[in-house]
Chain A
C-alpha cells in the first residue's frame, strides 16, 4: 500500500454518453442520435452498476455526486430519478452532498428543472460555450445564445442557486473582443461558477482533421493567452476567485466534486468509459464500448473487464498528485503530500530544486514553506513545469 492517507469522503461520477449532436471539437465518450431504447437499456445497466457498490449492507460514503456527459439532461426525467435512486442504494450520500448535473441548452424545461430540484440535485452545469451564434454553429452546437439565456433563467426560477456556465475561448475566428463580449454577457447573469476552457484540438475530432488539412486556423498562441488573462481579470473584477487553471467561482462555490480530482481524493465512477480512483485499487475504467457495457451488466459481469486499470508505481502516484495539485491556486501542500505518501517531499524532488528556483526567478512559480503553486504567468507554461514532477 503506497497511499496511507486519511480518507476524506469520496466523490461519485456518473457518465451519460448521449448528446443531441456531437460537437466538432469533442472527444469525450458520447454518441449522437441514440434511440430511446438504447438510453433506457443504458439506464438499466447504470442502475445495476450503481446498486452493486453496496456490499454486505455497507455502502461507501460519498459527499459529491456528478452526473456528467455527454448531455445527461437528454435523458427522460424519470431516468435521472432512477439513476439517483440507485446511487442512494449503492452509496451513502451525505445530507449536505453537492449533487451536480450537466446540461446543454435546449434540453432543459421548467418541468425537468423542478424535478431535478425535487430529486435533490443542487448544482447545475450548463454548457454555453459562447454567446456568439456564429461561433456556436461553427462549433457544431445545436443551441443559440438565446436558448442558453432562457434555460439559465428557467434554472433560476426552478430554484437553482448554484449554477456553473462552461465557456470556451481560442475558437477559430474568435477575437479577444468577441471573447470578452461572451464572458461579460454571462457575467451579467451572475452564475456562481464559470469554467473557461481554451479550445484544444483532440486527435480524431473533426476540428483536428480540419486543422491538419489546412481547412481551419486557430488564433495565434499569443492571442489565445491574451484571451485567457483578460478573462481571469474580468472574472476577478466581478468577484470570482480563480481557483483552478480553467475554473473560477464566487467564494464558497468552488466545485467540491472537481476539487477531488485535483486534491488526490478518491472517486467512484459508473457508466461506460467512466474512470474511478481508489487508494487500494488505483485507477480503473469501465469499458467504453456502449453495447459491451450494457451487455456485461445484463450478464452480471464487472464493466471494468474490457475497460481496464492503470498500474501505477509510488513515483507515478506522486507525479499525479503534484501535477493535479499544481492546477489549483492552492497548489501542492507538501505536508499533505508527506502524510499521503509517508516520504519527505524534498527527498523525492530534491534534484528539482534548482529548476524550481529558476522558475521562481522567472516569476512562474510560488515557492513557500509548505506550498508550491503556479503563478498566473506560470500557468502559460504549466505543462513544462508539471513535467518536472511526472
Chain B
C-alpha cells in the first residue's frame, strides 16, 4: 500500500427509502466542515428539486470530505451516494464497486426492509465492509436493541457496536465517523500499474461536456492522457481531472485508490456508461473491471404533447434529458388518437414518473402518457422473433405462434399481519410463490416470481395500500416465459383509441377491461349524445359502459357567483375544450390516461 492510501476511505451509504440516508449524509458533510450550516440546503446531496421534494435520491452524488480523527490524523473520506430506488439497482451496484465499505442505515423504528436487504446483498457481492448504523434513535418509537438483533439475525453481520445516531438531531455523528475511519479498509491498488478506473456515474455539464465520476483502482490519470473506455471502445483526450469537494476542484492527477472526476469532451452520457472501465489508450490494462452491463429499459410508454404543446418542444426536452440519462430511450412514434409523439423506455415505473414530472416542471410542458408496457417477445409462425413494447405494434393474431413475457423475481417484505392480504394480491397478479421466510417474529419476506407486466401496473400502490405503507418491494428480471397474453383495445363511441390499448393476460382481460371502462365512465364528461365505452379483444367486446347523454342549451341560473363559472362553460362550448382530447366526437380529459392506470382500493 502506498502511504497516501492509508488515509483514504471510500464508502457508500445504503438504506431503504425514507430511512434517512440523505439526511445522514448531510450531517456527515456538515460535521466535517465542508459546507457551512448556513449554505446547507435541506439535503445537500439530493440537489435536484424533484429529489428534494420527493425525498428520494435519483441521481447519485459524490463528495470528498476531510475528517480529522481522534488519532490526530486527517482522513479523506470519499462519500459515494447511491440512488435510492429499485429501478436503479445497477447504478447502486457500480457505486458500491467503487468503495471498500458501506454504511448501512437502518431505521431504528422500522427495522430491516426489503430494499435494505437488496442493498446489503449488493454490497456483500462487492466484498464491502458493512457498518450498520441505527438512525432515528431520537424517536420515542425507536427500538434499537430489537433492531440490532434483527440486523444480526437477518443480515448476519455483527451489529453490537453499531453507532446509534439521529441524523435529524445530529446525534452520534462523531461515533460514526470514527467507525468509518477504523473499520473501513483503506484502498489498495498499484499506482505504478496500468490504468484501471471504474466509471460509477456520469452527468452532462453544459460547459465541460460529460463529467465522469471515477474510482481509480490501478495506475493514474492526468490531463492530456488519451483514454480508452474499454466496453464502448471509444477514445478521448482528458481535458481535466479533479475532485469534488464540493464543486469541481481540478487537480494534477488521480491515483490508484482515489476518487474524482474526469472530463474528456464527451458529448453524451451514453458514451460514458456507468460500469465501464477507463484505461490509457497507449498502455491499456489487460482486463476490464467486471460487472459492466448496458442497462436496458424494462418499461415503455408513449409520451405525447398535450393539446397546444409543440412536438418539437417535447422532442428538445427529451433530448436534453437523454443526454444526462443513459438508461432513458426514446424514438418517434405516431398514434392515430394522439398524433405525433414518442415511445419512451424506462428502467421502471418510478423512472418513468420522474421523467414525466421533469418534463412538466423543468420544461414546463404538458404531456399525455399512455399505458406503460413491458417488452414482449413475440414468436411468429414463420419462426422469427419480434420484441414488441407498443401494444399497437403487436402483429396480427394469425401470424403469432406464441408470446413470451418478462418474469421478475420479487422480494416483498411485510409485517406478518398482512401476509394473507399480500398473498392474495400476488396471486391475483399471477405471482408464483417461491418461498416465505420469517425475518423476525413479526416480519416476513415473501419471494415470488411474477410477470413484470403485473408489477408495473399498480402492484406497488396495492402493496403500500394493503400494508398501510409498511410493505416494501424489490425485484429483478429473471427470464422470458411463454404466456397467454392478448391485446385489449378500448373503443369510445365505437372508435378504437389506440392510446388506451394494452397487453394483458387472457385471464385478466375481463376484469381489466371492466376496470378501464368503469374508470373512463367516471372521468369522461357527459356529452350531448350517449357515449358507449367498450373494451374489446379483437372483435369481441368484453366489457361495456355508457356515458349518458345530457343536453342543456340554456343556463337556468346565473347570479353573482355563477358568472365566471358559466362564462367558462360558454368558452368551453365555443373552443373545444382545453385539457380535453377529441377522439371522433368524444372529448376525453387528460386525466383519463392516468385514471385507467391508478390502483383503486375498491376494485
Contact = CB atoms under 8 A, between A and B. Distances in A.
A283 B563 contact: yes
Given A323-B567, A390-B567, A221 B560 contact: no
A151 B249 CA distance: 86
Contact of A390 (B547, B551, B571): B571
B496 to A, nearest CB: 24
Q: Give the interface size class of chain B.
A: 20 to 34
A212 B547 contact: yes
Contacts, number: 92
Nearest to A285: B561
Contacts of B563: 261, 275, 277, 283, 320, 324
A215 B214 CA distance: 67
B550 A380 contact: no
Centre residue among A274, A327, A383, A384 by max chain B CB count within 10 A: A383
A380 B570 contact: no
B567 A274 contact: no
Given A212-B547, A323-B567, A390-B571, A382 B561 contact: no
Interface in B547-595: 547-548, 550-561, 563-564, 566-567, 569-571, 573-574
Contacts of B547: 212
B186 interface: no
Interface in A20-34: none
A381 B553 CA distance: 5
A277 B561 CA distance: 9
Interface in A216-268: 218, 221, 245-246, 258, 261-262, 267
A388 interface: yes
Contacts of A262: 558
Nearest to A310: B564
B388 interface: no
B557 A246 contact: yes
Interface stretch (A77-85, A174-182, A194-202, A331-339): A194-202
A18 interface: no
B554 A245 contact: yes
A246 B558 CA distance: 9
B564, B566, B569, B571: which has the most chain A beta carbons within 10 Å? Answer: B564
Contact of B561 (A201, A212, A274, A327): A274
Contact of B573 (A258, A275, A384): A384
A267 B560 contact: yes
B553 A283 contact: no
Given A383-B553, A383-B555, A277 B570 contact: no
B155 interface: no
B555 A221 contact: no
B560 A269 contact: yes
Interface in A268-308: 269, 273-277, 283, 285
A200 B557 contact: yes
A379 B552 CA distance: 11
A189 interface: no
A386 interface: yes
Contacts of B554: 198, 245, 379-383
B359 interface: no
A387 interface: yes
A92 interface: no
B556 to A, nearest CB: 4
B409 to A, nearest CB: 43
A200 B553 contact: no
B526 interface: yes
B556 A245 contact: yes
Contacts of B559: 258, 261
A172 interface: no
Contacts of B560: 13, 261, 267, 269, 274-277
A13 B560 CA distance: 8
A57 interface: no
A370 to B, nearest CB: 23
A323 B570 contact: yes
Nearest to A203: B525
Interface in A47-94: none
Nearest to A264: B563
A120 interface: no
Contacts of B550: 201, 211, 218
A382 B553 contact: yes
B221 to A, nearest CB: 58
A211 B552 CA distance: 14
B522 to A, nearest CB: 9
A384 B556 contact: no
A310 B573 CA distance: 20
Contacts of A13: 560
B355 to A, nearest CB: 32
A274 B560 CA distance: 8
B382 to A, nearest CB: 49
A92 to B, nearest CB: 20
A118 B119 CA distance: 79
Contacts of B571: 319, 387, 390
Given A275-B560, A384-B553, A319 B567 contact: yes
Nearest to B568: A390
A204 interface: no
Nearest to A218: B550
Interface in B54-113: none
A214 interface: yes
A198 B547 CA distance: 22
Given A277-B560, A320-B563, A380-B554, A387 B570 contact: yes
B471 to A, nearest CB: 33
A237 B573 CA distance: 35
A261 B558 contact: yes
A261 B560 CA distance: 6
B548 A212 contact: yes
B563 to A, nearest CB: 6
B573 A387 contact: yes
Nearest to A283: B564
A340 B456 CA distance: 58
Contacts of B557: 197, 200, 246
A327 B573 contact: no
**Max count, chain B CB within 10 A of own CB: residue among A269, A283, A387:** A387
Contact of A198 (B548, B556, B561, B573): B556
| 7 A-B pairs with the lowest CB-CB distances in the bound complex, closest first | A275-B561, A387-B574, A198-B556, A197-B556, A387-B570, A390-B570, A387-B573
6 contacts: A214-B548, A274-B561, A283-B564, A324-B563, A387-B574, A390-B570
Given A212-B548, A283-B563, A387-B574, 9 more contacts: A197-B556, A197-B557, A201-B526, A211-B550, A262-B558, A273-B561, A381-B554, A383-B552, A383-B555
